[in-house]
Structure 1
Amino acid sequence: MDTHIKAGLQPVKEYQQHRARMLISCPDSPGIVAAVSHFLHQHGANIVQSDQYTMDPEGGMFFMRVEFDLNDLSGKLMGIKSDFQEIADKFQMDWNIFPLNEKKKLAILVSKEDHCLVELLWQWQAGDLDAEISMVISNHADMREYVESFGIPYHHIPVTPDTKKEAEQRQLELLNGKVDLIVLARYMQIVSPALIEPYRNRIINIHHSFLPAFVGGKPYAQAYDRGVKIIGATAHYVTEELDGGPIIEQDVQRVSHRDNVSELKRIGRTIERVVLARAVKWHIEDRILVHQNKTVVFN
């Protein structure tokens, strides 16, 4: 295995040295696309991909994702950001630019079930998750050897009702300034506002049901009792409302009366791992814009 990959890093590809992504959300009005395109052209950039969506041309919100190439990106990026502010102010934009040579840093939180963690590590190892996995944090020690075999730091922080506050403070100390995204890969703990606030729209959870159905604990048992014919999984950003944050991705599979709770869980594990990996991939590729409690996903 490549030593850079083993250390939790994906190598920077040649084209990423001069490519960046711009994300924009603002009230819709005429001239936004033209203004952005003209600005990038004036600064010597070449647009390689552009997506946009408007909720309602009459007073709705407008969303845009642009990828562009620019020679000497690192040297010119600060100036571009400064110059673009005049356009951003004119159209009341919420915007950001993400250079591709700066890998997003991930922390994965997990409990005992390993299927979602394993999927993320597999996809990262294959180069499908173009990010740095900075650490794995768990309230159990079960997966330490497996995670460390990838060269990724593993932190075991036990959590009990009496130590939950102290445990979360220790997590924050580990995370502070070191990660861009937190992934709850079947981390079976409710996170507090103290962790949510500094990572607003940067904590992704996988919930093992097709939300908004079967919120909370034991959703497969709830689904079995209800006699559902479809089960699913939902990846969403974490908010203070339990399982109520903006939904990023969902998927389902048909089941029947012959499937007991154990069988529903077995089927559900496959859905969970795929749905979570998609959501994480889209986030690190800057494909998601959040508006109120919804997402716009350019995929």
Structure 2
Amino acid sequence: MIAQRNMEVSIGSLSLQNPVMPASGAFGPEMHEALDFNKIGAIIPKSITKHPQPGNDTPRVCETHGGMINSIGIQSKGLDVYLSKIIPEFSAYDVPLISSISAESIDEFCEMSDVLGNHPDIDALELNISCPNLKGDGLAFGMDAEVTRELLTRVRQVTDVPLIAKLTPNVTSIQEIAKAADAGGADALTVANTILAMAIDTETKKPMVGNVMGGLSGPAVKPIMVRMIYQTSQVTDLPIIGCGGIMNGTDAIEMILAGASAVQVGTASFITPTALTDVVQEIRDYMERHDVKNIYDLVGSVEC
């Protein structure tokens, strides 16, 4: 008789049947042709902005050794289309729907969180604090601990749904930002967004993406993310969602051992459309091989 393997995890008050979800920006409704959305832990559509945005100049993506640089920008059809088209499309599935929000100011984060965080079909919010604070100094919200704390504190006042702060890795100390998000009322942390990077075409002497710089993702960034997950887990008890470079179940397990309760899969889905459900099965296979009955027995169990 095969023993039951409990893969259920909690993100604040939100329960997920397994710890695997897409990274925002690497998931779309057309993927239902390749995988069963009801078999993943949660759905996270691309970050939404209040107003429509065209995104960055082309080219927007280039390959690098062990990864890719993307400079899509927050291309968005705006909040009205999100409410009328995107939410109904994804809420038809039996897994939690998490909205990723990108905004230009704390006030705008609060305004959008008030709308989405009180929508009956939205189960949690992921606050993309890696986007630039255009009402401040232009740096990402998540580069400043005090701004991070204020942003979470104010958003917490307008909604009761779980709040996930998506941290930027482009900081000196991710621990300080994590503690600030915790102090502000975050229920979980995504560690982390893409790493700011640049590539140059040596023949044309021009940057390989139209915006000059972009976000590096893929296998090359995974060791950095594993390190950041471990560091973050040492300073907060909040659930951590590991993100960056997961290509298979072994990569996911590595992040879980470092301290992540859940993981997000991004670049891998561009290569293998079934990557999300593949990772779910590979985590289950690992638990079978090592006779792990509960996923939480693995969380943070690295032996240092």
Instruction: Look at both structures and tell me which one has the larger radius of gyration over its CA atoms.
Output: 1
- TM-score, with structure 2 as normaliser: 0.33
More strand by share: 1
